[in-house]
Amino acid sequence: MRTRYGNLNDVSNKKSFQDMRKWQKERRRKVKDLTKNIPQCSTKKIQEIKKNRSRTSYTWIGHSTFLLQLNGLNILTDPVWAKRMGFQKRLTDPGIPIEDLPEIDIVVISHGHYDHLDFPTLKKLQGNPDYFVPIGLKSLFLKKGYQNVREMSWWESIEYKGIQISFVPAQHWTRRSLYDMNTSHWGGWIFQTTDETFYFVGDTGYFSGFMEIAARFKIDIVFMPIGAYEPEWFMADSHISPEDSVKAFIELKAKQFVPMHYGAYRLADDTGPEALERLLREWEKRQLPKEQLKVLSIGETVM
């Protein structure tokens, strides 16, 4: 019998057929402007990135995909360059064409949903990366022909060429087929160098785990999801709202908030600009320092 994984405090994300029907009826009544999208960066640093093996940098490719350059290593989070997600066409192009990436050393996967784990994308990556995946996912990678795969459980850490990589909890779920519901885990990834600590949250609802993560790690930069939250009665267990993402940031005691998981795919009823507008409104409402919020254009690099 296959192991089934769960959330902290036994929070369940299961929804009934009636819940799905209710959501679909609601969606048909909503009118959304899908012509307004998150902009591309006008000054991309593609050549600088390809040559860089010494400076710390991070680049938002789009959705939950970032290229991090730490300790001379090129790290990709949840690499997805897919042009479609289900029946929906991608709304914004990836910030860097996949063929323009440098050779990748590390790939981390937060969970197995298709908008976070796309094998056609992985096949196109240059280099021979090591893959770090949640417990339960390694067998799928081996089946697909990938050998350099490290499976990790919550709170497990490993040292990799001068970087401490840790897998931490999230509140979510996963499924790739009819029969594999929650047979692998989900979570976020923390990268610690001698200078800074980066926290890639992955996909999550708001949960008490943020406070425990803050107790164990001193976070400098957090890559925080803000999209796919509407309708909130349906999505809240799995996808954090912009307002709760700010609450989580405060609980994490992090130094900088970088929003993600919005503007690339229409996974719920909210739009990218709506998510960003709500984030900015909440930031102002709580009177947080403007310099602590780093909203990136697609393809923008911070060095």
245 within domain boundaries? yes
136 within domain boundaries? yes
Q: 12-27: b or e for each residue (b if 16 or more CB lie within 10 Å)?
A: ebeeeeeeeeebeeee
DSSP state of 293: B
17 within domain boundaries? no
Kindly report the number of other CB atoms within 10 A of residue 104's CB atom: 19
pTM: 0.97
DSSP state of 72: T
Q: How many CA atoms lie within 13 A of 167 on its CB side?
A: 19
Could you report the per-residue pLDDT of 162-183, keeping only the tens digit for each? 999 999 999 999 999 988 999 9
Could you report the per-residue pLDDT of 37-70, keeping only the tens digit for each? 999 999 999 999 999 999 999 999 999 999 999 9
Question: Which tokens sit at 135?
Answer: 């417990």
220 within domain boundaries? yes
Q: Is the pLDDT of residue 32 over 90?
A: no
Which residue range(s) make up the domain with 93?
A: 39-302
Q: d(Cα 249, Cα 222) in Å, to the nearest integer?
A: 8
127 within domain boundaries? yes
43: CATH? 3.60.15.10
DSSP state of 102: P
149 within domain boundaries? yes
34 within domain boundaries? no
List the strands of the sheet with 73-77, edge to edge: 149-152, 130-134, 106-108, 73-77, 65-70, 57-62, 301-302
70 within domain boundaries? yes
Query: What is the number of structural domains in the chain?
Result: 1
Q: Is the pLDDT of residue 1 over 80?
A: no
Q: Is the pLDDT of residue 153 over 90?
A: yes
